[in-house]
Amino acid sequence: MSEQQSWHGTTILSVRKGNEVVVAGDGQVSLGPTVIKGNARKVRRIGQKGEIMVGFAGATADAFTLLERLEAKLDRHPGQTMRACVELAKDWRTDRYLRKLEAMMAVADKDVSLVLTGQGDVLEPEDGIIAIGSGGNYALAAARALIDQDLSAEEIARKAMAIAGEICVYTNGNVLLEKIDIEEAK
């Protein structure tokens, strides 16, 4: 891959509303102006019982490396999503190898929604909406505009992802969505 060409793609959106929290991701992976794949799976469930949803943006191998590291942290700190994310962020920031990874993660469980970055950030949005990736700002704006409507978290995420897909050339309409019913999860 030449230095001019780089991987682009991904819109990941998490919405927390009422008794639901969802994480949605589009399926497009692009290399320069070319769509390489339209059905990539960028949202996963992890944890002992699949109780944590993770969406990732950035270089695929880097994202999977971080996902594996997060799973290891969760094994060491079961049921403590925040602590596991903070521990991962500390490693990510201080480990020479991990510092070079180019990815971001959105993590959500029944209690908390977080963004993890390579700068060591573990961010919890005050409005329960997270968006990362090339179409993230479009999805974030759309979700914020829809949050006060009489819509579920899933409906908001699907509409916001559709809007992002219409605007961002690196985002498609092939959306994978994972959902947790907060009441059932308790």
As annotated, the active-site residues are 10
Q: Which contiguous run of DSSP H or E holds residue 46?
A: strand 43-46
Question: Which amino acid does the sequence have at 111?
Answer: D
Kindly tell me the sign of the dihedral angle through the C-alpha atoms of 151, 152, 155, 158.
Answer: positive
In the sheet that holds 52-58, the strands lie side by side as 43-46, 52-58, 103-108, 113-116, 122-123
Cα–Cα distance, 65 to 102 (Å, whole number): 10
Cα–Cα distance, 50 to 77 (Å, whole number): 15
